[in-house]
Structure formats: structure tokens, C-alpha cells
């Protein structure tokens, strides 16, 4: 008698095979996470090491004699808290202004496709290619005439201009992902353009707005060269500029305090990421799917 | 919703208004901004303390201490000069001054500095900051390149220990490093991430000049037998004697210290100020000492680019700034700055201070070398930075790694180098 049971094919793995595949996936994910986390963990480890341990040929992951001395020295030598506050003000200011300006622009570029919108998109892409050194001296002179040298407001302005093209580019994708039928329905219900943008489109854009704001925040938080050149007085210096004070001639560094200060400098970014992580994830997915 | 947006905009405007620097009230008092590149804990403390002492005794001329960074000082200053917003008093290195001096950004100090300050610093140091007969910076700190040695290892190997009076010759240095090497250990580790200044500065000891200025004032590169002694020694130590590891050629000075502490290398040629890192990081019981670099036909002579203090052309109170420099660089104060930076002062009186002649941490060896320090060969050569980056650095790296021979090195330095320099001398 013939056996009518369907034979197991190569495309339907056994439960054991599925478990092994899943374990492999988790192992790969873990390896990737370790790879991503390595610099930060090493930075943290360095921050707690004594100078003698830092000079060892075989450095250990876990400091043998953990010390807070590097943190103490870093805070004693440099105004880290004040610099962090400056960075926070500048980064928040840049993020908020960039999003406020980019949102209506992105809406227009996404909804009104034509030669002008295409030219604007092209310009946005090209403007990303300008090197810092090309713009720094004209920018310096313009800000000087506006009396915005050595002011955090001037720096915010620079960061907004710097991050706006990419923010715009990001947001155009998110706006296109919002079904235009929803706006048409709102129009049928009698809502004007502004009302539609504010009440219908903006809430759906929230994840995209969060992602864009985070991009602008991180860009401003990490930026060094403009801050170095545009800020003169120590009271206005931002964290990346203050961190370089632990580096001497020919690249010699006071490694322990530098690592301590740098590890503290990463915290605000991590915190902001943690707070809006869910929105970011859904925002990225939203931007990736075509309606 | 509209109310919410208005609130956000209002908060933002307030935030930005709060960020603005506003104006600083001077109240008739002159305020000078002093941008210092001091970075080590003791050095920053010494600088700040001296500024405080000045401010306490000079109520009408207030000096504001601003922290700069070695890492980016050139670009930062260039932009500030272009925008007319440079600090009044500028800390830099003499080999970085040429472009600023020729560009008209720095004040001519020739007749601005008090005669006492001029007299306290020897002429060879002034030469490092003098361009076309005018002084653009006060050289105040300098460091020779020395050999930091594992004292226990050298004593155990029964090699002759060099002193400033009886240094090793380059051939003797090569023989000794060969003797010290073997079984995964090396006589010397050359950290030559920046090979050009190290090679050129040490080559002065063998009479190497490389840059030759003609009667017409134009500079020409000529790589002679005297120029070849130091690079050939390093090359042969790597390729023939295996007394130096090829791996450290691409390293910075700090990168070689762990291997030095672990007993992999008997010696490391480093700048004098590296002693501070060694004091901090050396394991307990590790015995180290400072030895002079090897000597050649011209003795212990080597090139240096001292740290300098300059005054910006745009500074409206140059006399007051010069008075502050005079105060900051008084012999006692210069000693405080030198101790803070673990370097040598340029001032003759400061160099005589007993604090710098102690045997501890190699101070005495360093001060004994001070008289042999000369301006770095490329000090006033226009186009040197480009020659260094585009021609000399890759050529020397290839030579040290064995990719090209001495003839190839000579060809590159001279032929390609002179093409670069010619563009600056038309």
C-alpha cells in the first residue's frame, strides 16, 4: 500500500533546524551589538582606569583598581557641566528650529512635484557636499556683521542652516508616506490647507518629526569645528571644544580624564534616544513604506 | 494647536535671546584676551595663577584666560584673523608662525618688547620666530628629543651609559641597539608617525641641513651624505639589524610606552615632555632614565620649534600686551611654566634655576642639552608644510619600511620637493 503522507521537503525545516537557525540569528545579532557597543564600553572602561593601568601592554576590560580620579580631574580642570549646558541649549535650539522650518518646506516639496521642487531637491543634495573649510570664513564674516560671533544664538543659526537640507530631505520622504487621500477627505470636510497640515498631516508625521529632530540634535551636539571657530569666550564653549583641552601637542592626550569626560558627553544623546526610541523606529518604518 | 505652536516659538526666541553673548562692559579698563594652549594639569594651573597674579597687580589692564587647543589651533587662528576677531595674545609653536607672520596677522614685536626680555633669551631662540628680520613671537618653551631608557636593562647589558658630555655616536648607538635586541625584544622603538620633523631635527647633529638658501634668497632641497646618516641608521635598524620593530614606525610617542614599560624595548626616542606621562604611567619599581640623543659631527645639535607668544596685529593695546608678556616670562615665572609643561625654558636666567638641574626625572640631562638646540631646519621655509605632507612624509615612510632605497628617497625629497618649493618662491 502506498504511503500518501506528504514527504518533508527541503523548504520546511525541522523544529531542530528552525531552532538552530534562530540561535544563529541571535548569535549574529549579539555579535553585531557587541561590535556596536565596543567603543563605548572601552571608553567607559578607560574612564575608570588608573594612569598605570592605562600604560599597560595588556589592558583589561574590567579595571583592576577602578578609580573616580579621572572624573574628578576632568571636572576640576574643565567646566564640563557648563559646557554641557551650552551644548544642550544649542542642540535643542537647532533641533526645534530645523524641524519648524523644514516641515512646511518638506510639505510643499512632497505635495507639489514639478521642476521647481526637483531643482530644490537637487540643491539640497548638492549643498551636502560643501566642505566646512569652504564656508567657514564667509560665514564668520556674515555672523560678525550680524554681531552673532561668540554667541550661542549664532551657533544655533549655523547648525540650523547646516542640518536643514538633510532634515528637509528626510521629511519629504515622511510626508510622501502620508496618504494624500486623508488630506483630500479633510478638504471635503471643509478644512483649510493650514488646518489640514496641522490637524491631519502633522500628527501622522510625528515619528518622522521625532527622527528629524533627533538627527538635528545629534548633529549639533557632536559638531566641533564651527563651535571652535565661532565661540571665543570660555563661558560659551560647547562640550566637543572643551574635550579637546585634554589633548596636547602632537596628539598626546590625558587619556583618563579625556575618557571620563567623553563618556559623560555621550549620555545626553543616549538619553534622548532612549526617550524617543519607539517614535524613531516607527518613524523610520513609516518613511520606508510607500502608500 | 495654534496656541501650542506660538508657545514653542516664544520659548525658542527667549532661549535664543538668553543665549546671546551681549556686550562686555569694560568700564575704562583694557581687557586683553590671552589664548593659551597649555593642556597639562600643572601647566594650566601655572598659567591661570600667573594671569591671576597679573590681574591682582594691574587693575587697569585685565587679562582674560582663554583655553585653546593644539589640535586645531592653526585653522581656528586663521579664521579668527580673517574675521578680525583673533585673541590679543596668542600661544603657538614657532613652526606655525611663518604663514601668520607673512600674512600680516601678527604684530612686529621687534621694538615692542622690553630690552630686558630681549636680553634674557638667546639669539638662536629668537631666530626661530624671526622672519625677514622682524620678530613675530617670543620663544619661551622648548624640548629636545631625548632617549628614554630602561635603566635596569641597560645596566644589565653592561653597555656604556651616555651623558651629555660623552654621548653615543650614531654608529655606537646602532651597535648598542643591536646588542640589546633579540628574542622578541628590541634595543629601540622609533615612534615615527610624524617622521619628517624627527628626522630633520636629529639630522642637524650630523651636519644635515637639507634646505639650502641661495644668494637670491631662494631655498633649494639638497639631500647630502650628512643628511643621510640619521635616516640610514633608522632604516638599517629596521631592515638589517632588526633592533627596532617596524610596527612602531607608524605609532605616536604615547603608543610605544606600554611596550616600553612591559620590557619590549630598551629605549624610546621621545620629546623631553613625555617624562610626565612616564611618571604617571610607569609601573611601580620601573627604573627609567633620560639619555641624550646620539651625536654626530656637529655634536648634540638638534632642531627645535619652541612654543611662542605673539600679539595680534589687530590688538589695539599692543604695549599693554607686551608688558603682560614681559611679566609672564620673567625668569621665575618662566621656570613655573617650564615645570608645568615638563619642558625647558628658553631664557638663560630661567635655565639656571636649581629646580631645573635636579637629577630627578632627567631634568639635569635636559638642561645640559639646551645649549645645543637650534632652530628647526625648515623653520622659515615657505611651502614647508606642503613639502612635508605631500613629499617628505610618504617618502620617509616608504624608506623606513624598506619600500624604496636611499637613492629613491634622495630623488623624491629633491626632485619632487623642489617642484613644491618653487611654487612658493616665484
Within an 8 Å CB–CB cutoff, is residue B103 touching chain A? no
Helices and strands: H and E segment counts in chain A: 13, 0
- Between A109-118, A142-151, A256-265, B2-11, the lowest mean confidence (pLDDT) is in B2-11
Question: For A143, which residue in chain B has the nearest alpha carbon?
Answer: B83
pLDDT of residue A145: 85
SS3 A203: helix
Q: Which residue has the cell 518613524?
A: A283
Give Cα separations from B53 to A77, B265, B326 (angstroms): 19, 45, 13
The predicted structure's pLDDT at residue B384: 86
β-pair type (B344-345, B138-142):
antiparallel
Q: Over 80: is that where the pLDDT of A127 sits?
A: no
Complex ipTM tops 0.90? no
Q: How far apart are CA B8 and CA A95, in angstroms?
A: 12
Contact (CB<8Å) A244/B284: no
Closest CA to B374 of B268, B272, B308, B298: B298
pLDDT number for residue A14: 83
| Percentage above 70 pLDDT, chain A | 91
Question: How distant, in Å, are the alpha carbons of A141, A230, A262, B115, B306 from that of B106?
Answer: 20, 20, 35, 20, 17
Which of B33, B82, B281 is nearest residue A137 as measured by Cβ atoms?
Answer: B82
DSSP A129-172: T--HHHHHHHHHHHHHHTT-TT-HHHHHHHHHHHHHHHHHHHHH
Is the CB of A104 inside 8 Å of chain B's CB atoms? no
Determine the pLDDT at residue B233. 97
Shortest distance between the Cα of A39 and any Cα of chain B, in A, equals: 18
Q: A248 in contact with B at a CB cutoff of 8 Å?
A: yes
* C-alpha to C-alpha distance for B175 and B241, rounded to whole angstroms: 9
Per-residue confidence band for A291, with pLDDT thresholds at 50, 70 and 90:
very low
pLDDT of residue A9: 53
Q: Does B360 touch chain A if contact means CB atoms closer than 8 Å?
A: no
For B362, how many CA atoms within 13 A lie in the half-sphere containing its CB? 31
Nearest chain A residue to B64 by CA: give it. A233
8-state DSSP, B106: B
Q: What is the per-residue pLDDT for B24? A: 41
DSSP secondary structure letter of residue B160: P
pLDDT of residue A187: 86
- Host H or E run for residue A43: helix A15-47
Smallest CA-to-CA distance from B142 within B404, B356, B426, B408 is with B356
The DSSP H or E segment spanning B213 is strand B211-213
Contact B274, B253 (CB under 8 A): yes
Per-residue confidence (pLDDT) for residue A281, from 0 to 100: 61
Distances (CA, A) of B362 to B163, B172, B352, B369: 11, 22, 15, 11
DSSP three-state, residue B187: strand
Q: For residue A10, what pLDDT band results from cuts at 50, 70 and 90?
A: low
Angle at B325 (CA atoms; ends B338, A149), nearest 5 degrees: 105
Going A236 to A237 to A238 to A239, the CA torsion angle's sign is: negative
In sequence order, what are the residues at sequence separation of 6 or more whose Cβ sits closer than 8 angstroms to the Cβ of residue A259?
A: A43, A44, A46, A47, A70
Of A89, A234, A252, the CB nearest to B67: A234
- The residue ranges of chain B whose pLDDT is under 70 are 1-27
Q: Is residue A252 less than 8 Å (CB to CB) from chain B?
A: yes
pLDDT tens, position by position, A59-105: 888 998 899 999 999 998 889 999 999 999 999 999 999 999 998 88
Residue A141 has pLDDT above 90, yes or no: no
| CA B348/CA B161 separation, integer angstroms | 28
Contacts of residue B355, Cβ cutoff 8 Å, sequence gap at least 6: B335, B339, B363
Tell me what pLDDT residue A161 has.
87
Average pLDDT, chain A: 84
**Of residues B20, B65, B283, nearest to A151 (C-beta):** B20
CA distance A35 to chain B (A): 23
B69 with A150: Cβ contact below 8 A? no
Task: Answer whether A250 sits within 8 Å of B252, measured CB to CB.
Answer: yes
What are the residues whose beta carbons fall under 8 Å from the beta carbon of B79, sequence distance 6 or more? A136, A137, A140, A229
Nearest CB neighbour to B40, from listed A133, A144, A248: A248
Q: Do B293 and B229 touch, CB atoms closer than 8 A?
A: no
- What distance in Å separates the CA atoms of residue B11 and residue A97, rounded to the nearest whole number? 11
CB-based contact B284 A241, cutoff 8 Å: no
Residue appearing with cell numbers 619661551: B140
List residues bridging with B334 in a β-sheet: none
**Nearest-by-Cβ selection for B253 from A51, A144, A252:** A252
Return the ∠ at Cα B136 (arms to B132 and B139), rounded to 5°: 115
**Nearest CA-CA distance, residue B228 and chain A, Å:** 25
Per-residue pLDDT at B149: 98
pLDDT in the model for residue A279: 63
Amino acid at each position: 500500500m502506498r504511503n500518501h503522507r506528504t514527504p518533508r521537503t527541503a523548504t520546511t525545516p525541522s523544529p531542530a533546524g528552525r531552532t538552530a537557525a534562530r540561535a544563529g540569528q541571535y548569535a549574529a545579532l549579539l555579535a553585531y551589538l557587541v561590535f556596536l557597543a565596543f567603543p563605548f564600553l572601552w571608553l567607559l572602561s578607560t574612564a575608570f582606569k588608573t594612569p598605570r593601568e592605562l600604560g599597560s601592554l595588556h589592558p583589561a576590560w574590567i579595571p583592576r583598581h577602578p578609580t573616580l580620579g579621572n572624573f574628578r580631574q576632568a571636572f576640576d580642570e574643565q567646566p564640563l557641566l557648563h559646557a554641557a549646558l551650552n551644548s544642550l541649549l544649542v542642540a535643542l535650539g537647532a533641533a526645534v528650529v530645523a524641524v519648524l522650518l523644514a516641515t512646511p518646506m518638506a510639505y510643499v516639496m512632497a505635495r507639489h512635484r514639478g521642476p521647481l521642487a526637483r531643482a530644490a531637491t537637487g540643491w539640497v543634495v548638492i549643498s551636502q557636499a560643501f566642505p566646512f573649510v569652504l564656508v567657514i570664513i564667509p560665514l564668520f564674516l556674515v555672523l560678525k556683521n550680524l554681531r552673532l560671533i561668540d554667541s550661542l544664538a549664532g551657533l544655533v543659526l549655523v547648525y540650523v542652516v547646516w542640518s536643514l537640507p538633510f532634515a528637509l530631505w528626510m521629511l519629504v520622504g515622511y510626508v510622501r508616506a502620508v496618504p494624500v487621500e486623508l488630506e483630500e477627505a479633510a478638504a471635503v470636510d471643509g478644512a483649510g490647507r493650514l488646518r489640514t497640515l496641522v490637524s491631519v498631516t502633522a500628527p501622522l508625521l510625528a515619528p518622522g518629526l521625532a527622527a528629524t529632530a533627533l538627527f538635528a540634535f545629534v548633529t549639533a551636539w557632536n559638531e566641533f569645528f564651527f563651535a571652535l571657530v565661532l565661540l571665543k569666550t570660555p563661558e560659551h564653549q560647547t562640550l566637543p571644544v572643551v574635550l579637546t583641552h585634554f589633548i596636547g601637542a602632537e596628539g598626546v592626550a590625558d587619556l583618563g580624564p579625556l575618557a571620563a569626560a567623553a563618556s559623560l558627553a555621550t549620555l545626553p544623546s543616549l538619553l534622548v534616544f532612549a526617550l524617543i526610541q519607539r517614535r524613531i523606529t516607527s518613524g523610520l518604518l513609516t518613511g520606508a513604506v510607500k502608500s | 494647536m495654534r496656541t501650542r505652536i506660538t508657545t514653542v516659538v516664544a520659548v525658542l526666541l527667549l532661549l535664543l535671546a538668553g543665549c546671546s553673548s551681549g556686550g562686555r562692559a569694560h568700564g575704562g579698563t583694557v581687557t586683553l584676551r590671552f589664548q593659551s594652549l597649555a593642556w597639562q594639569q600643572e601647566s594650566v594651573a601655572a598659567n591661570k595663577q600667573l594671569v591671576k597674579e597679573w590681574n591682582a597687580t594691574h587693575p587697569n589692564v585685565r587679562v582674560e584666560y582663554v583655553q585653546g587647543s593644539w589640535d586645531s589651533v592653526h585653522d581656528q587662528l586663521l579664521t579668527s584673523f580673517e574675521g578680525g576677531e583673533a585673541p590679543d595674545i596668542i600661544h603657538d609653536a614657532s613652526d606655525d608662525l611663518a604663514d601668520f607672520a607673512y600674512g600680516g596677522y601678527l604684530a612686529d614685536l621687534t621694538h615692542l618688547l622690553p630690552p630686558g626680555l630681549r636680553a634674557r633669551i638667546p639669539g638662536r631662540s629668537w631666530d626661530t620666530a624671526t622672519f625677514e628680520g622682524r620678530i613675530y613671537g617670543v620663544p619661551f618653551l622648548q624640548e629636545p628629543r631625548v632617549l628614554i631608557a630602561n635603566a635596569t636593562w641597560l645596566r644589565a647589558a653592561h653597555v656604556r651609559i651616555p651623558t651629555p658630555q660623552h654621548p653615543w655616536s650614531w654608529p655606537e648607538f646602532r651597535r648598542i641597539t643591536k646588542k640589546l635586541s633579540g628574542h622578541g625584544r628590541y634595543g629601540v622603538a622609533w615612534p615615527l608617525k610624524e617622521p619628517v620633523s624627527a628626522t630633520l631635527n636629529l639630522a642637524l647633529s650630523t651636519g644635515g641641513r637639507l634646505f639650502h638658501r641661495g644668494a637670491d634668497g631662494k631655498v633649494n632641497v639638497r639631500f647630502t651624505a650628512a643628511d643621510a646618516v640619521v635616516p640610514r641608521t633608522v632604516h638599517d635598524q629596521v631592515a638589517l639589524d632588526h633592533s627596532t620593530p617596524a610596527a612602531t614606525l607608524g605609532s605616536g610617542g604615547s603608543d610605544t610606552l606600554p611596550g616600553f614599560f612591559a620590557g619590549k624595548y630598551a629605549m624610546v626616542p621621545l620629546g623631553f615632555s613625555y617624562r610626565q606621562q612616564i611618571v604617571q604611567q610607569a609601573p611601580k619599581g620601573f627604573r627609567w632614565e633620560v639619555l641624550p640623543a646620539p651625536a654626530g659631527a656637529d655634536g648634540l645639535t638638534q632642531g627645535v620649534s619652541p612654543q611662542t607668544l605673539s600679539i595680534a596685529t589687530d590688538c589695539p593695546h599692543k604695549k599693554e600686551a607686551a608688558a603682560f608678556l614681559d611679566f609672564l616670562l620673567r625668569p621665575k615665572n618662566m621656570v613655573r611654566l617650564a615645570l608645568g609643561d615638563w619642558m625647558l625654558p628658553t631664557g638663560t636666567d630661567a635655565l639656571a634655576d636649581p629646580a631645573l638641574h635636579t637629577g630627578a626625572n632627567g631634568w639635569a640631562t635636559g638642561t645640559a642639552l639646551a645649549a645645543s638646540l637650534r632652530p628647526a631646519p625648515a623653520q622659515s621655509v615657505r611651502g614647508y608644510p606642503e613639502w612635508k605632507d605631500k613629499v617628505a612624509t610618504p617618502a620617509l615612510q616608504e624608506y623606513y619600511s624598506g619600500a624604496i632605497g636611499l637613492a629613491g628617497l634622495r630623488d623624491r625629497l629633491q626632485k619632487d620637493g623642489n617642484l613644491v618649493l618653487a611654487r612658493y618662491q616665484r
